[in-house]
Structure 1
Amino acid sequence: MGSHNFSENYLLLRPEEVSLWHLFGFLLNHDLAQKAFVEYPTGKEENLQRRGLIFISLFGQKVLQHLAKPIACFGSAFEMWMNLLSCNGNFFGLLLHALQNKVIVPERTSEMFLSSVGHLDKRKQLDNKISHGDRRYYAMLCAMASKLSYENRAVVETTVQNCWKMELLGYYNFWNDFQRKFTTQGFIFHDKTADPDLVIVAFRGTELFDADAWCTDIDISWYELPGMGKIHGGFMKALGLLVNQGWRKEIEPQETDEYPVAYYIIREKLRTLLNENSRTKFILTGHSLGGALAILFPAILALHEETLLLKRLEGVYTFGQPRVGDVEFKKFMNKQMDKYDFKYLRFVYCNDIIPRLPSDDSTFLFKHFGTCLYFNSCYQGKIVEEEPHKNYISVLATIPRILIAFWELLRSFILPYKEGQEYYESCWLKLVRIVGLVLPGLAAHNPQDYVNLSRLGSPSIYVKLQEYSIEV
C-alpha cells in the first residue's frame, strides 16, 4: 500500500492478485478492500464507493486473463483462414489450389499477411484526390495511418515506403510494465513532401483478439496527478507508466532496450528528429485505444515541461477515441493547447460506442475536450461540443440506431457504385454490418468508416474550423 508515491490519490486494480472466490466476497466484505487486488492511499476509502463497478472491471479482467490463450489461438487461426482465402482468390480458389497441391500459405511476418482490421478494409493507397494544401489532407493521412497501425512491420513498411512514398522511421511493440507484457504497438513515419515536413506518430488501437489490450480498456484504475486531475489508469499503463515509479522525467536508454515503453521511446525519437531540422513538426494520431494514447502523450510532455517538443506539435488527430480523464484534466489540457497552440481534433463517427465510454456522469466523471468533428452515417460532418447521446445508453436512441445499422448494411452495396470501387466493402465487412444490427455501437467503431469520413466528409467542415480559429 502507498507505494505509488508519484500520486497522492489513486485507485489501482490488480486482477492478477485476486481469485474469483475472493472477488465475489469483495462485494460484501469491506475488510477485503485492504487486499492487494484493490490499492488506494490510506485515508482514501471513498475510492471504494463504486464497489459494483470495481467488481465488474476486476471480473471482466479475470475472465479475459483466463481466456487470453484460447482467444489468441482462435484469433490466430481465424486470421490465417482470412489470409488463406485472400491469397488463394476465394474459397473455391483455395479448394482448387488444395486439389492441385498449390496452396499459397502466407508467412505471418510477410507483407501479404493482413490483420482482421486489414481484411475489413484493404485500402493502402492515400486518396489521390486529396493532396497537400487540401484542408482534409492531415485527417485523411492520419485516418489511414491509424488503420495501418494494426498491421505487422512488413505491411507497414511496404505501405509507407512503396505506396505513400514516405520514410518509415520506426516500428515498435511497446511494453506494459504493469501487465508485464507487450500490449500495444505503433510506428513513426516522415512526410517530407509536406510544408513544413511532418513526422507522424501512429498508435495502434485494441486488437480484436488481444485479451491484454481489452483488459487495458476495461481497467477502471485511475491516478490523480498534481494540477492535472484524474486520468484513466489503464491507458496510462499502456503509454508507459512505470510500476511504483510513475512518470520519471528521464530514463536510462538501457532500461528500455529489452522492454521498450511507448512514451520514453517515442519522446527520445522525436527529440532526435526535431533537433535535426528546426522546421519539422509532428502529429500524434490513433484509433480507439490508440487515440487515447495519442492525446495522453502531450499531457505527459507537459508534466515533464518538454517545451521544445510541445512547441513543435502540429496537432493530435484521434478517431473513435474513449474518454481519458476528468473535468480537471480537461481544464489542464485546454490550458496546454492554448499555451503551445496545437490543435486537437477528435473524430466521431455516428453511433460508435467507444467515444461514449467511460461515461460522462456521476459514476466516472470523465469528460471529453478538444474539438469534436461528428459525422453521421452519410458522412456529413459538423463541429459539436459533444457527440449526440454522449453516454450511449439512451432509450430514445435505440430504435434510430438499429435503423441506421440497416442503412449502413444497405449503404455497403450502394457506396461502390456511387463513389467508386475503392469503397467496395468485403464480405467480412458486410458480416460486421449484419452483426451491427444487434450491436450497432460496436460495428460503427470500425476504422473503415473513419477512413471514409476523412475522404467523403464535406470540406466545408474544415472551413468552419478556421472560423473557430483552428488551423488545419
Structure 2
Amino acid sequence: MDSKCNKSFCSDYMLLKPEEAGLVDVFRILFSDDIGKRKFIDCPEGKRPEPFKRRWLIFVTILVQKLLLAVEKPMAWFGSLVEQWLNLLSSNGSLSSLVLNFLRGKVIYPDKTTTSFKSIIGHIDNRRELDDKINQGDKRYNAALSMMAAKLSYENKAYIESTVDYWKMEFLGSYDFWNDYQEKSTTQAFMFNDQNDKIVVAFRGTEAFDANAWSTDFDISWYKIQGFGKVHGGFMKALGLQRNQGWPREQVADKKQEVAYYAIRKILKQLLQKNEKAKFIITGHSLGGALAILFPAILAFHQETWLLERLEGIYTFGQPRVGDENFGEFLKEELRKYNIDYYRLVYCFDMVPRLPLDDSTFLFKHFGTCVYYNSFYEGKIVAEEPDKNYFSLRWLIPKIINAIWELIRSFIISYTRGADYEEGGLLRLLRVIGLLTAGLPAHCPQDYVNATRLGPSEVYLSELS
C-alpha cells in the first residue's frame, strides 16, 4: 500500500507492512543486516544495514502485528458480542430481570445509536458526573475535565451529546474522520465548550477490541521530516497525512472526505473567530493522546501562529511515544514560545506509554511534563516513568505485587475513597488478568479518572511545565 505513496515530503522513512510479511521472510531479518531486502519493509532504495538489536525489535513488532491482523475479525466480533451483552444486561436492569423479561416476552434490546448505549469503556467505568469538588479555579480542573472528555470520546454521538448537556456545557459536534491510507474512517473526535470560554477537543483512543488500533500502538514505522524530526508513521496517517502530498498547508481539494487535522483546524478557526476570549485545550487517552500532541505539532509545522496563541494546554493520558528526540526538542520550543501547557499523565505500569520502545537504536522519546501516579494515586513530576520500556525483568516482581494490590484495592476502594470509586465485576476481571499482564488493566480510564480527582493539585503548577 505505502509503496504507491509519494514520500517526497520526508528525507528518510522506514515503514513496516506486516500484511506482506511471510514467516520465513520475517525470520530471515535476524540473519541478514540489510533490511532493504525485506519486502515487508518500505525504505529508500539501496543497501540498508541495521544492527541486530534493531532487527530483533522489527522482528518482534512484525510478529505482534501479524498476530493482531490474524485475530482482527474474531477480536472485533468478540468485542461486539461483549458490548451487546453488557448493554443487554444494563437495559434490562440485571441478569435476573433479563431472564424474567425473556419469559414475559418483554426483553429490551439495546440500540447502538441511543443515549443509553455504552461502550466497553463506559461499562468498565460508568461514572458520568464531573467531580463537584474540582471547580474552575482548581489547578486540577483542566486535567480532570480533559480526562472525563477523553473517556467520553469512546461513546456514540448521542451518548456524548447527552452527557455534555448533562454537564451543562455546549456540545459542538462529534466526528468520524477519513484515513487517506486505509481508505476508511478510522479517527474520531468530539468538541464542546465548557461555557467558561474554553473549547475542548477530545480524540478517541485505542478501543479494547480494535486490533488495527493496537497494531498502530505497537508499530515502529516512522517518517523523518527536515527540521521536524522523526515521527511515528501510523499516528501521522491517523491524524491526516495525505497519501500523495504528505502535509500540505491545505487539504488537497479533490479529496472526497475530510481528514482529522484539516477539519478540526477549520472548525476551531470558525469557533474562535466568534469568541475573541475563547481558548482551547486538546486531550486524548491512549492513541487519542498521541493525536492530541501531534495536532499542535502540525499546527507549528504550518506556522499557524493565531491558533497556537489560542491553545491553552494539552493533556494526554496513557499516551504512546510519537517521535524522536529532535521532534521533542522542536515541539518543546514551540510550546514554550506560545506558553502552552503540556501534561502527559501516566498511571503506574500502564503498558502503552512505554511503546514504541525507547531504545538505543529507534530512539522514540517522550518529552514534556510527565505526571506519574502510583497505585495509591500519589502523583509527582518525573523525567521518565519507571520501567520505561515495560519488558525489563527487573520490574517483573514489582509489577506482580502491584497487580495483587490493585485487585485487593478494587474491593476496598469504595470504603476508603467513597462510593464514586467503586469498581464493578468487569474491571475486577481485568485486575485478575493484570496478575499476568499488569500493563493492560493499568491502561483503563478508571485509574486515570481516579488520579485526576485524588492526586495532588500541585503537580499542575504551570511553572513545572
TM-score bracket for this pair, using the shorter chain length: over 0.9
Partner of 1:243: 243
Q: Does 1:6 align with 2:9?
A: yes
Q: Which moved more, 1:435-444 or 1:144-153?
A: 435-444
Q: Which runs of 4+ in 1 moved over 6 A?
A: 29-32
> How is 1:342-357 mapped onto 2 (pairs within 5 angstroms)?
342-357=340-355
Which one of the candidate residues 70, 77, 80 is aligned to 1:73? Answer: 77
Q: Is the 8 A contact 1:191 1:198 kept in 2?
A: yes
**Letter of the structure 2 residue corresponding to residue 166 of structure 1:** M
Secondary structure of the residue aligned to 2:439 is helix
Secondary structure of the residue aligned to 2:399 is helix
Partner of 1:376: 374
Q: Is the 8 A contact 1:287 1:319 kept in 2?
A: yes
Q: Which moved more, 1:65-74 or 1:202-211?
A: 65-74
Partner of 2:225: 225
Deviations 1:294-340 (A, max 9, x none): 00111111111111111111010000111111111111111101111
**Letter of the structure 2 residue corresponding to residue 233 of structure 1:** G
**Letter of the structure 1 residue corresponding to residue 44 of structure 2:** P
Partner of 1:208: 208
Which one of the candidate residues 311, 315, 324 is aligned to 2:313? Answer: 315
Distance 2:458 2:64 in 1: 43
Partner of 1:359: 357
Please report the TM-score for the alignment, with normalisation by the length of structure 1. 0.92
1:57 Cα deviation (Å)? 2.9
- Compute the RMSD of aligned alpha carbons: 2.0
Please report the TM-score for the alignment, with normalisation by the length of structure 2. 0.94
Q: Does 1:133 align with 2:137?
A: yes
Q: Is the 8 A contact 2:332 2:367 kept in 1?
A: yes
Which one of the candidate residues 142, 159, 169 is aligned to 2:146? Answer: 142
Partner of 1:172: 175
Q: Is the 8 A contact 1:26 1:33 kept in 2?
A: no
Partner of 2:401: 403
Partner of 2:102: 98
With over 3 angstroms needed to count, the CA separation of the structure-2 counterparts of 1:48 and 1:259, relative to structure 1, is farther
With over 3 angstroms needed to count, the CA separation of the structure-2 counterparts of 1:25 and 1:395, relative to structure 1, is closer
With over 3 angstroms needed to count, the CA separation of the structure-2 counterparts of 1:439 and 1:30, relative to structure 1, is closer
With over 3 angstroms needed to count, the CA separation of the structure-2 counterparts of 1:434 and 1:42, relative to structure 1, is same
Deviations 1:98-127 (A, max 9, x none): 111111111011111111111000011111
With over 3 angstroms needed to count, the CA separation of the structure-2 counterparts of 1:176 and 1:55, relative to structure 1, is farther
Secondary structure of the residue aligned to 1:367 is coil
Distance 2:34 2:406 in 1: 50
Distance 2:459 2:27 in 1: 50
Secondary structure of the residue aligned to 2:337 is helix
1:37 Cα deviation (Å)? 3.2
Q: Is the 8 A contact 1:25 1:32 kept in 2?
A: no
Distance 1:246 1:328 in 2: 19
With over 3 angstroms needed to count, the CA separation of the structure-2 counterparts of 1:215 and 1:254, relative to structure 1, is same
Q: Is the 8 A contact 2:222 2:230 kept in 1?
A: yes
With over 3 angstroms needed to count, the CA separation of the structure-2 counterparts of 1:31 and 1:360, relative to structure 1, is closer
Partner of 1:86: 90
Deviations 1:359-412 (A, max 9, x none): 222132111111111111111111111112222233332222211111111111
Partner of 2:428: 430
**Letter of the structure 2 residue corresponding to residue 237 of structure 1:** K
Count of equivalent residues: 461
1:419 Cα deviation (Å)? 2.3
Distance 2:209 2:291 in 1: 20
Distance 1:402 1:455 in 2: 26
Distance 1:160 1:356 in 2: 32
Q: Which moved more, 1:272-281 or 1:26-35?
A: 26-35
Secondary structure of the residue aligned to 2:440 is helix
Q: Is the 8 A contact 2:36 2:46 kept in 1?
A: no
Secondary structure of the residue aligned to 1:318 is strand
Secondary structure of the residue aligned to 1:45 is coil
Q: Is the 8 A contact 1:106 1:113 kept in 2?
A: yes
Q: Is the 8 A contact 1:176 1:240 kept in 2?
A: yes
Which one of the candidate residues 54, 67, 71 is aligned to 1:63? Answer: 67
1:157 Cα deviation (Å)? 0.8
Partner of 2:159: 155
Distance 2:72 2:173 in 1: 28
1:15 Cα deviation (Å)? 3.1
Secondary structure of the residue aligned to 1:284 is strand
Equivalent pairs: percent with the same residue?
A: 56
Distance 1:466 1:367 in 2: 22
Distance 2:191 2:462 in 1: 28
Q: Is the 8 A contact 1:216 1:238 kept in 2?
A: no
Distance 1:401 1:25 in 2: 34
Distance 1:399 1:25 in 2: 34
Secondary structure of the residue aligned to 1:42 is coil
Secondary structure of the residue aligned to 1:75 is helix
Q: Is the 8 A contact 2:36 2:47 kept in 1?
A: no
Q: Is the 8 A contact 1:184 1:213 kept in 2?
A: no
Q: Is the 8 A contact 2:33 2:50 kept in 1?
A: no
Deviations 1:122-171 (A, max 9, x none): 0111111111111111111001001111111111111111x211111121
Q: Which moved more, 1:371-380 or 1:62-71?
A: 62-71
Q: Which moved more, 1:168-177 or 1:375-384?
A: 168-177
Deviations 1:342-365 (A, max 9, x none): 010011111112112222221321
Distance 2:161 2:367 in 1: 33
**Letter of the structure 2 residue corresponding to residue 286 of structure 1:** G
Q: Does 1:306 align with 2:304?
A: yes
Q: Is the 8 A contact 2:34 2:47 kept in 1?
A: no
Deviations 1:14-38 (A, max 9, x none): 3344444544455556788346532
What residue ranges of structure 1 are gaps of 5+ in the alignment?
A: none
Partner of 1:116: 120
**Letter of the structure 2 residue corresponding to residue 454 of structure 1:** T
Secondary structure of the residue aligned to 1:317 is strand
Deviations 1:440-463 (A, max 9, x none): 12111111100001111122333x
With over 3 angstroms needed to count, the CA separation of the structure-2 counterparts of 1:25 and 1:459, relative to structure 1, is closer
